[in-house]
């Protein structure tokens, strides 16, 4: 059929999706986490991934984020996703992330939701090198994204940021449906005899800028310029090629920065490379992905151009409480604020209280019969045989040299290595609550790994379910 875009074919009048070529080599032997909202795009993605998993030889698990925006409707979305996954025997992890409560000052709903979801993906994706996160973005999302980024003054990397394969930190995200329209995905669902999916009522609200573009601006553009969307998509593909060249050049420039990272080295960078090299520099030093905004870049350039006065000049980094950029006569640094004193250990007798707050986390303990256990890769929960837990337990932070025997292993592993394997941010060493037994052995590192101690077996009469929830 002429005029069809790459990425799918049509057979017997039923829409069929296919993986873009850049995704195919990544799939073999990996675990694919599918972000499932319950809408048409993510549901089509889930069914496509389910249909292809044996041929492409990957395992599949769905993840649903309940954002806490829409009350009962939001809960109903989660229930819909559960039923879909139960009928198809697809493991599903549901996370209640409560965006309104965790939104930072000056942060919009969409921005906060993206930030919090990424924080959770870092906790969910246990083995980033052997895992992929699949997102249901389609061609319409890509057009909306480039317009939003254009209005915000993004460079070519930002304008083409919604790519089929994208790595953020250690996590690889894939978007198999970027060459398909929403109409294509709905047609695919109807071909699978799926006629109902969830519709988010907030998608009609023009309070959100993306919806304003989708519901008002783009319909006007289509009427005036029928060819515009195809042209925008072609421009994005070209920008992606340009950005790839600049990103490679930034990798080389960062690798060649002197060990001192002297101001003259930064001043010598071409203007197109400085923001990209700065991103690598800050992310490498802070241990998490930091995208410098225009204010930080401009202030950094201005500071580099100022005569040296012998003092260290500190530049705040938006969204970062723990790190700042520092410039002095002979060196550019990413400095960490003074560390807070470590939290003291807290005894916890779960027979007397089922909830304990520790730093920025809350831990709960619940006795459950073994038949009610639902095992997923949700690392915010852990199960143990209640009869093998000796009281009192203790909750405390990481100590140098700490080891744990991970579930499925017989020998201890340095907790530092387990943190690294899980892609844990550096601050977890002083903030993450570790559950220990009365002899000090680590039972559980939330969002990282369970120990092999007190496993639930066929002989277990009663289990303890532990849950960790971030408070902020």
Handedness of CA 387, 392, 395, 397 (dihedral sign): negative
pLDDT of residue 84: 92
Separation of alpha carbons 416 and 390, rounded Å: 26
pTM for this one?
0.69
- pLDDT of 161-200, one tens digit each? 899 999 887 899 999 999 999 999 999 999 988 889 988 7
CB atoms within 10 A of CB 346: 16
CB atoms within 10 A of CB 392: 14
Distance in angstroms between the alpha carbons of the first and the last residue of the chain: 52
- Does pLDDT of 208 surpass 80? no
- Asked if 93 and 378 touch (Cβ cutoff 8 Å), the reply is yes
C-alpha distance from residue 100 to each of 39, 105, 441, 442 (Å)? 21, 11, 37, 33
**Total tally of structural domains belonging to the chain:** 3
Task: Mark whether 52 and 101 lie in a shared domain.
Answer: yes
Range of the domain at 456: 346-470
The domain boundary residue, chosen from 292, 309, 336: 336
CB atoms within 10 A of CB 391: 12
The domain boundary residue, chosen from 295, 312, 336: 336
Percentage of the residues of the chain whose pLDDT score is greater than 90: 45
Q: What is the CATH number of the domain that holds 426?
A: 3.50.40.10
Separation of alpha carbons 228 and 222, rounded Å: 7
Task: Mark whether 125 and 24 lie in a shared domain.
Answer: yes
Separation of alpha carbons 436 and 346, rounded Å: 10
Task: Mark whether 156 and 183 lie in a shared domain.
Answer: yes
- pLDDT of 133-172, one tens digit each? 999 999 999 999 999 999 988 899 989 889 999 988 789 9
CA-based nearest residue to 66, from 122, 32, 113, 104: 113
Which positions ≥6 away from 23 have C-beta within 8 Å? 164, 165, 174, 176
Average pLDDT, the chain: 86
Task: Mark whether 271 and 220 lie in a shared domain.
Answer: no
- Does pLDDT of 266 surpass 90? yes
Coil vs helix vs strand at 37: coil
Q: Which of 6-15, 195-204, 418-427, 461-470 has the least mean pLDDT?
A: 6-15
Task: Mark whether 464 and 371 lie in a shared domain.
Answer: yes
Q: What is the CATH number of the domain that holds 193?
A: 3.40.50.620
- pLDDT of 92-136, one tens digit each? 988 888 788 877 777 778 888 888 898 888 878 878 889 999 999
- Does pLDDT of 329 surpass 90? no
Mean pLDDT of 248-259: 88
Percentage of the residues of the chain whose pLDDT score is greater than 70: 92
- Does pLDDT of 3 surpass 60? no
Backbone angles phi, psi at 184, to 5 degrees: -55, -45
Which positions ≥6 away from 339 have C-beta within 8 Å? 430
Separation of alpha carbons 392 and 398, rounded Å: 19
pLDDT of residue 304: 93
The domain boundary residue, chosen from 315, 336, 357: 336
Mean pLDDT of 68-96: 88
């Amino acid at each position: 059929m002429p005029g069809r875009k790459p990425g799918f074919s049509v057979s017997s009048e039923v829409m069929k999706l296919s993986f873009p070529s850049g995704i195919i080599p990544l799939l073999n032997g990996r675990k694919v986490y599918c972000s499932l909202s319950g809408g048409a795009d993510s549901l089509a993605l889930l069914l496509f991934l389910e249909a292809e998993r044996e041929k492409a030889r990957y395992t599949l698990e769905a993840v649903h984020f309940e954002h806490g925006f829409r009350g009962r409707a939001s809960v109903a979305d989660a229930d819909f996703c559960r039923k879909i996954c139960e009928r198809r025997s697809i493991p599903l992890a549901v996370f209640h992330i409560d965006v309104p409560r965790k939104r930072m000052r000056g942060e919009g709903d969409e921005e906060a939701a993206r930030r919090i979801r990424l924080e959770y993906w870092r906790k969910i994706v246990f083995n980033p090198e052997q895992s992929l996160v699949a997102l249901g973005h389609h061609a319409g999302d890509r057009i909306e994204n480039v317009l939003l980024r254009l209005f915000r003054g993004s460079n070519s990397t930002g304008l083409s940021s919604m790519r089929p394969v994208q790595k953020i930190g250690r996590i690889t995200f894939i978007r198999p449906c970027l060459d398909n329209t929403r109409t294509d995905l709905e047609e695919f669902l109807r071909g699978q005899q799926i006629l109902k999916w969830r519709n988010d009522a907030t998608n009609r609200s023009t309070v959100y800028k993306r919806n304003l573009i989708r519901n008002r601006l783009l319909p006007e553009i289509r009427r005036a310029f029928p060819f515009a969307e195809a042209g925008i998509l072609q421009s994005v593909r070209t920008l992606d090629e340009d950005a790839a060249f600049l990103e490679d050049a930034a990798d080389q420039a960062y690798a060649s920065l002197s060990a001192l990272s002297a101001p003259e080295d930064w001043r010598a960078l071409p203007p197109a490379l400085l923001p990209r090299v700065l991103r690598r520099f800050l992310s490498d030093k802070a241990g998490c992905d930091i995208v410098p905004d225009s204010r930080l870049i401009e202030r950094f350039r201005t500071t580099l151009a100022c005569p040296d006065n012998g003092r260290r000049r500190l530049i705040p980094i938006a969204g970062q409480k723990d790190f700042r950029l520092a410039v002095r006569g002979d060196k550019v640094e990413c400095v960490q604020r003074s560390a807070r004193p470590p939290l003291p250990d807290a005894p916890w007798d779960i027979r007397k209280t089922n909830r304990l707050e520790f730093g920025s986390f809350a831990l709960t303990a619940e006795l459950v019969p073994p038949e009610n256990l639902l095992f997923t890769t949700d690392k915010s929960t852990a199960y143990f045989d209640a009869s093998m837990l000796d009281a009192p337990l203790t909750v405390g932070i990481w100590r140098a040299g700490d080891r744990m025997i991970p579930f499925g292993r017989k020998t201890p592993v340095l907790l530092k290595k387990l943190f690294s394997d899980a892609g844990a941010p550096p601050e977890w060493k002083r903030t993450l609550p570790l559950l220990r037994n009365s002899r000090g052995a680590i039972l559980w590192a939330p969002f990282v790994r369970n120990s092999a101690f007190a496993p639930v077996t066929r002989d277990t009469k009663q289990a303890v379910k532990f849950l960790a929830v971030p408070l902020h």
